C-alpha cells in the first residue's frame, strides 16, 4: 500500500510540472503577441478566407484517419483483431489529451487499445515509440530536401535559429558527459545480463523485465507486419496532409498568398518543430516559431505572422479537440453499454 503522503507528493509534482509547462507556453505567447496591435490583428482575421481554413481542417482530419490506419498496421502483429475504430479513437484521444498534459497523449492512446486486453499496454507503447522515431526521421529528411533545393532562402534561418542554438546547448563537454553515461549504462546492462537469472528472482526486476519485453514486442512489429508497402504509402499520405494543411492556410491569407509550395513545406517543417515542443498542444511555441520564420525569411510584419500562426494553429487544434471529444464520448457510451 502506497502511503497517503507519497500520493500527495506525486500529485503536487504533477501540478508543478503542469503549471511550469503552461507558464512556458504563456511566455512564448507573450513574446509572440507583445508588439501586435490588436486593431491590425482583428483586421488580419477579417481578411482571412475561412473556406480555405475549413478545407485545412478537413485535410487535417483525413490526416488523423490515415495515421490511425498506419497505427492499426503496426498493432496487427501484436493482435490482428485490433479494429480501425479502436486505433482511430486512440489517436483522436491522444491529440485531445496532449492539450491537457503534454506528451500524455501517447500513453492515453495505448490505454485505449489495451483496455479490452487485445494488446498489452507495453506492446502498444512500443509501436508508438516506432511511430515517433519514424516521424522524427521523416522530419529530418524533409529538412535535408528543403536545404538541398532551397538553401539560399531557408538555410540562414534554420542555421541561425535551430542549428546554432543546438550547437551551443550541446557543447563538447556535454557530449563527453553523455558518452560517459552511455559507457556506464552499457557496462551496467552487461553486468545485469550476466546475472539475469539471479536478478529475475526479484519481483520488481521481473516486473521491469516484463515491461521491457512488451516494449520490444511493439518495437519489432515494424519488421513483422504485413503489407509494408501500405505502411510506406500511409506515411507519405500523412506528410502530404501536413503539407496541404500548410498550403491551404497560405491560400486563406491574401497577405501571404504569394508564397508557393516550397514555402508551404518550409512552414510545415517549422510548424512541426513548434508542435513538438513539450507544452500543451504546442501552444505558444507554434505561434512564436512560425511568426519568427515569416518575419525572418520573408520580411512579413509580426502582426501578419501572428495572425497566420494563430489561425493555422487554432484551426488544427479545434479539429483535434472535436475529434477527441467525439471519440471520448463514443468510448464512454460503448463502455456503459457493455
Half-sphere exposure of 207 (CA within 13 A, CB side): 3
Task: For residues 36 and 306, give the distance between their C-alpha atoms in angstroms, rounded to a whole number.
Answer: 8
Regions of the chain with pLDDT less than 70: 1-41, 44, 80, 155-178, 188-189, 191-193, 195-197, 199-201, 205-206, 208-210, 335-338
Separation between Cα atoms, residue 331 and residue 320, nearest integer Å:
16
- Asked whether residue 11 is assigned to any structural domain, the reply reads no
How many structural domains compose the chain? Answer: 1
Assigned C-alpha cell, 108: 492515453
The answer to the question of residue 167 being in a domain is yes
Residue 16 lies in a domain: no
Q: What is the per-residue pLDDT for 94?
A: 92
Q: Residue 327: what pLDDT? A: 92
C-alpha cell at 188: 551496467
Cα gap 296→299, rounded to integer Å: 6
φ, ψ (nearest 5 deg) of residue 191 = -65, -40
Q: Over the stretch 93-134, which tens digit does the pLDDT of each residue have?
A: 999 988 888 788 888 998 888 887 778 888 888 888 889 889
Residue 17 is assigned to a structural domain of this protein: no
pLDDT (0 to 100) of residue 32 = 57
Q: Is 284 left (phi over 0), alpha (psi -120 to 50) or beta?
A: left
Domain assignment present for 302 = yes
Give a yes or no: residue 6 inside a domain: no
Within-domain flag for 156:
yes
Residue 4 lies in a domain: no
Q: What is the pLDDT of residues 19-29, one digit of tens each?
A: 666 666 666 66
The parent domain of residue 124 ranges over 22-337
**The predicted structure's pLDDT at residue 31:** 56
- Residue pair 122/214 in contact by the 8 Å Cβ criterion: yes
Three-state helix/strand/coil letters over 232-278: HHHHHHHHHHHHHHHHHHHHHCHHHCCCCHHHHHHHHHHHHHHHHCC
Cell (9 digits) for 36: 501586435
Amino acid at each position: 500500500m502506497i502511503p497517503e503522503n507519497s500520493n500527495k507528493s506525486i500529485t503536487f509534482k504533477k501540478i508543478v510540472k503542469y503549471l511550469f509547462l503552461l507558464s512556458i507556453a504563456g511566455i512564448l505567447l507573450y513574446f509572440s503577441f507583445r508588439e501586435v496591435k490588436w486593431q491590425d490583428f482583428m483586421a488580419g482575421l477579417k481578411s482571412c478566407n475561412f473556406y480555405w481554413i475549413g478545407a485545412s481542417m478537413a485535410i487535417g482530419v483525413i490526416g488523423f484517419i490515415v495515421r490511425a490506419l498506419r497505427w492499426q498496421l503496426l498493432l496487427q502483429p501484436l493482435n490482428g483483431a485490433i479494429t480501425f475504430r479502436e486505433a482511430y479513437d486512440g489517436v483522436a484521444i491522444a491529440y485531445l489529451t496532449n492539450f491537457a498534459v503534454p506528451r500524455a497523449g501517447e500513453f492515453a492512446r495505448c490505454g485505449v487499445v489495451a483496455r479490452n486486453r487485445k494488446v498489452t499496454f507495453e506492446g502498444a507503447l512500443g509501436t508508438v515509440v516506432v511511430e515517433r522515431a519514424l516521424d522524427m526521421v521523416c522530419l529530418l529528411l524533409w529538412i535535408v530536401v528543403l536545404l538541398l533545393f532551397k538553401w539560399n532562402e531557408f538555410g540562414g534561418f534554420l542555421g541561425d535559429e535551430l542549428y546554432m542554438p543546438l550547437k551551443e546547448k550541446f557543447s563538447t563537454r556535454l557530449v563527453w558527459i553523455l558518452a560517459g553515461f552511455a559507457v556506464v549504462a552499457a557496462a551496467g546492462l552487461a553486468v545485469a545480463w550476466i546475472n539475469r537469472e539471479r536478478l529475475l528472482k526479484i519481483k520488481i526486476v521481473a516486473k521491469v523485465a516484463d515491461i521491457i519485453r512488451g516494449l520490444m514486442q511493439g518495437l519489432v512489429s515494424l519488421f513483422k507486419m504485413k503489407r509494408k508497402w501500405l505502411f510506406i504509402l500511409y506515411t507519405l499520405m500523412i506528410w502530404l496532409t501536413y503539407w496541404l494543411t500548410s498550403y491551404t492556410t497560405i491560400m486563406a491569407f491574401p497577405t501571404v498568398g504569394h508564397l508557393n509550395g516550397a514555402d508551404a513545406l518550409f512552414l510545415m517543417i517549422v510548424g512541426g518543430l513548434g508542435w513538438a515542443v513539450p507544452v500543451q498542444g504546442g501552444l505558444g511555441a507554434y505561434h512564436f516559431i512560425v511568426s519568427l520564420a515569416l518575419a525572418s525569411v520573408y520580411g512579413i510584419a509580426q502582426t501578419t505572422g501572428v495572425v497566420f500562426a494563430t489561425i493555422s494553429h487554432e484551426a488544427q487544434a479545434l479539429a483535434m479537440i472535436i475529434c477527441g471529444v467525439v471519440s471520448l464520448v463514443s468510448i464512454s457510451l460503448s463502455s456503459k453499454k457493455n
